[in-house]
Chains A and B, each alone.
Chain A
Amino acid sequence: MKYRFFVAGLAVTALAILSGCAGSANASRPIEFAEANKTIAEEAKVDSAQMQSANAKLDSAKALQAEGEDEQAIALAEQSTLEYRLAVANAERDAAKKEDERVEKELRDDVERKLIYQNILDQEVKNGGTK
């Protein structure tokens, strides 16, 4: 009889482990993921408004986690992660745009220099021809 109960209990435990029903949803991983994205965003010096919004959601997620509201905490952590990622993407786009504008300007300067040198060469050749 004891053996039967033991086997039945073992089966239930195994099923529970296999099915992931061993415990309720854990918000730690999404929050940690969000924290990592926050660090990236800080290093990227993203837009402060977007940063504040994402930070607010991450803080809320942490608060909800502390209150045991893991499911809501996960949702907010994922949202903050998305916002961090979007802010980083925007910052990279802005940096790329700035760099592109700088290079564009330098290219124009180069072209102008080239024209100047070309004019000098034309003048030298002309002077050499009339010498």
Chain B
Amino acid sequence: MKTRNLLMISAFAATLCFAAEETKTEAPVAEAPATEQAAPAEQNAVDACKASIEAASKDMPANATSAKSTLAAAKGVLANLEDAYKDDPESDATKALANKCDMTAKIAAAQAETQALRNHTAENWEKRAATARSIEAIQEQINQARSGKVNDLEAEKAKMKDQEARLQAEMQQNQEKFKAEAAAQKAALKAAGKREAELQKKLAAEKKALAEERAKAKARQAEAMNKLNELQSKLIQVSKDARGIILSMSDILFDVNKATLKADLKTSLAKVAGILSVYQQFNVSIEGNTDNTGSAEHNMKLSQQRADNVKAFLVEQGIDGARLEAKGLGMTMPIADNSTKEGRQKNRRVDLVIQDKALQEGADALTGAPAEAAPAEPAATPAAAPAAEPATTPAAEPAKK
């Protein structure tokens, strides 16, 4: 019985001890300095704690584990605060708990904000990663675009290079060709120049020789002219013009209407033949002429026969026939007016046109035409005076044909 009482006493004492411990636990908080108590005087400490917790929990990220844990602790403090507030709203314990609640809520809010910032940072990192991938993709596209362009440019470059090489080769070939042609032309030009110089030299020599020959021929002709002037008479007129020395013999020296030579004419022609034999360079053109009486055919025939006879006589006298040419001109080459007796007498004649070969050839060479092409006097104008200058007075009245 005493033991039972003792145990009951012990239990009572223990109860007292627990009560005292509870009081001790809360006592230090109540004795905290008044300056540390954060509960506002006007606001209910419990409501303020709830508001702080509410504010901290607002917009809290789902993954803010630390903040949630801290917030749970704040709620625990709130429970204690509510109990303390019920006991004594103005007690130090209540104020201390209110302060603890406020601080804990602030910590939770900071942690929540930190987590929110970290979440935002993580989102930005993801965005950066996505952006980096996009940039890489764009860079790849740029490289592909440039690669394609570079390929095109390379192909174009190769094409241009080929073309340039081809053009270069063509140009070189052309240059070589032109060079060869130029060399050939130069050689040809040089050869031509040489030939021309030789020709010029030759021509000059020939001209010189020709000039000398012509001078000699002129001298010969002048000499012959002096000798032939001895034949000058009424029946034979000696003159000189561009064709050479002209011996104009009257038809009186022929039988009438015949071609036979009279003795006087033969004598004169023999002298002429003597001169011609001395001057082998002289050619003689024997030209028979008539007046306009009678038929043209008869006159032509008669004039030809007379010219032929003269030629034959000269050949008999030893003159080479090749030097002689006989031409019957009939009435085609009058030298005087056929309407008068004197004129007709003048027109009836045989002309010996004596010309040095050298002068003849020189004239041919200079004019490109035979010397005969340039008659000494125009025949178509009977009224005109003859170009030949008579050495003596005209012959006497000629006999009839």
Contact = CB atoms under 8 A, between A and B. Distances in A.
B138 A114 contact: yes
A15 B131 contact: no
A26 to B, nearest CB: 11
Contact of A118 (B21, B138, B146): B138
B107 A86 contact: yes
Contacts of B141: 121
B56 to A, nearest CB: 11
Which of the four size classes fits the interface of chain A? 35 or more
Interface in A1-41: 4, 7-8, 11-12, 15-16, 18-21, 24-25
Contacts of B148: 128
24 contacts: A11-B6, A11-B7, A12-B13, A15-B10, A19-B18, A20-B21, A21-B14, A21-B21, A75-B29, A75-B32, A75-B96, A76-B32, A79-B36, A83-B103, A86-B107, A92-B111, A96-B113, A100-B120, A103-B124, A110-B127, A113-B135, A114-B135, A121-B145, A131-B152
Contacts of B3: 4, 7
Interface string B362-375: 00000000000000
Contact of A110 (B25, B106, B128): B128
B142 interface: yes
A42 interface: no
A124 B125 contact: no
Given A82-B100, A103-B125, A131-B152, A93 B113 contact: yes
A129 B28 CA distance: 84
B121 A100 contact: yes
Given A89-B111, A92-B114, A124-B142, A25 B106 contact: no
Given A89-B111, A128-B149, A96 B27 contact: no
Given A71-B31, A75-B31, A82-B104, A93 B114 contact: yes
Contacts of B127: 107, 110
Contacts of A4: 2-3, 6
Nearest to A111: B131
A85 B107 contact: yes
A117 B103 CA distance: 50
Contacts of B135: 110, 113-114, 117
Contacts of A18: 14
B234 interface: no
Given A11-B10, A83-B103, A107 B134 contact: no
